[in-house]
Amino acid sequence: MAKCDEGYLCDVCGQDVPELTDSDMYLRYVVGMLDPEVLHTTPERHIRCNPVLAQYIVAPDFAPVVVEGPFDKRTLDPAYVAEQEGLVTRGWRRLNEVAKSEIPIIQYPLPEVLNEIARRSAHS
């Protein structure tokens, strides 16, 4: 099978990332951590294969992820943790919404991220 026919393989575990809702790359894009111009060159991984980011998803339908060590959210500033939980959880919910729709990829990000992308492109 040609490499392009394989789909997206996780850069961490090597398994297929079959669903948009499992995609760390698209979650980071939706929340503004990844510029749209680099989507095609960014390695893919499962959300759970990036536990440092996954730990910030706080939702009843997402089993909590615990990180041990210096990036454990339990050891970080509570205000920062609350901000990240809000952003990443909203991003994960948005990812689940867009997976059920037929909107173009450029419209996947959260509204504030879309506004920032538009602002940057207006100034370039």
SS3 assignment, position 56: coil
SS3 assignment, position 62: strand
Tell me the C-alpha distance between 56 and 66, whole Å.
9
SS3 assignment, position 16: strand
Tell me the C-alpha distance between 71 and 75, whole Å.
8
4-9 long-range contacts (CB < 8 A, ≥24 apart) are: 8/44, 9/44
pTM for the full predicted model: 0.90
Residue 95: other Cβ atoms inside 10 A? 22
> What pLDDT score was predicted for residue 120?
85
What are the residue ranges in the chain where pLDDT is below 70?
Answer: 1-7
Output the six-digit token pair for 81.
Answer: 């943790």
* 63-72: pLDDT as tens digits: 999 999 999 9
CA separation, residue 15 to residues 46, 69, 70, 83, 122 (Å): 9, 26, 27, 31, 39
CA separation, residue 112 to residues 28, 67, 124 (Å): 14, 28, 19
